[in-house]
Amino acid sequence: MFAFELAALAAATCWALTGMISAGPSQALGAIAFNRLRMVLVFIMLSAYVGLTTGWSSIPVATVGPLMLSGLIGIYMGDTALFLTLNRLGPRRTAMVFSLNAPMSAILGFLFLGEALNLTQISGIALTFLGVLLAIRFGKRKSQLHQWEDIRGPLWIGISLGVIAALSQSVGSLIARPVMETGSVDPVAASTIRVGVAALCLSLMMALPYQRFKPLGPVTLKLAALVGFSGMLGMGLGMTLILYALSGGEVGIIATLSATTPAILLPLIWWRTGEMPALGAWAGAALVVIGCAMLFT
């Protein structure tokens, strides 16, 4: 009965783990090279799976265009901006800024789809933004020395990249929603198309004669394995789970559950670093979850 809701919660957990796993490899390779390798590996794995099933037959020709556009905006642009943010702000702050995709989706629905926003939903948007600001401003104690709490470069650039990532993800989801709401499209096949477009665009980007697009270091076997695992967990499993959840669950509940990533991430960071997150981080994550719940009620 709760399969779609559990899928959304599992997707949020996958994304929380992905942020932790990706932090090291993304720093070592650079965001562009890391994301390209990640997308290529995920595309190969997903293509192999879909090729062994009947997934391709579930994709009508008319839906290929929207799925490709969704992948271009939501994954190529969104994920690239996301890992640029991760390299600057660390996994905790990145997850908080990226959680703005929930209120952004509601605002986009209001502006472009004619969806109404009542007072409760407007309050939810405000609470979500407040939670993000609280977690960024008061989310670290002076005694926290782990490198994940460091800010590299100007803070405003990191936040701007995170906002671009959240907005791109919102637009990508908005484009894919009508396709997935039919319930007849295989979520894995849909994810394969979206990831394939992102992998192609990133490969073309790295072929340009700009040093900043090249890997910062060599790709070792261990590094490639971490990148592949990160991609399969976040893009392969996480995105497929959320597309499955959207295919049959209530959009509001699914959106709220998938927005719990910042809250799930905090105990994981505590366990990994041995440093308890500051009270502001917990309070900010709680406000984000409450705001999303109000937003999609």
Q: How far apart are CA 124 and CA 184, in angstroms?
A: 32
Residue 1, pLDDT score: 47
Residue 252, pLDDT score: 67
Residue 237, pLDDT score: 85
Q: How far apart are CA 280 and CA 284, in angstroms?
A: 6
Q: Domain range spanning residue 147?
A: 3-295
Q: What's the farthest any 2 CA atoms get from each other in the chain?
A: 56
Residue 165, pLDDT score: 94
Residue 77, pLDDT score: 95
Please give, one letter per residue, the 3-state secondary structure of 266-283: HHHHHHHHCCCCCHHHHH
The number of domains in the chain is: 1
Q: How far apart are CA 260 and CA 253, in angstroms?
A: 11
Residues of the chain with pLDDT under 70: 1, 251-252, 297
CB atoms within 10 A of CB 288: 30
Closest to 55 in 3D by CA, of 65, 46, 63? 46
Q: How far apart are CA 24 and CA 108, in angstroms?
A: 34
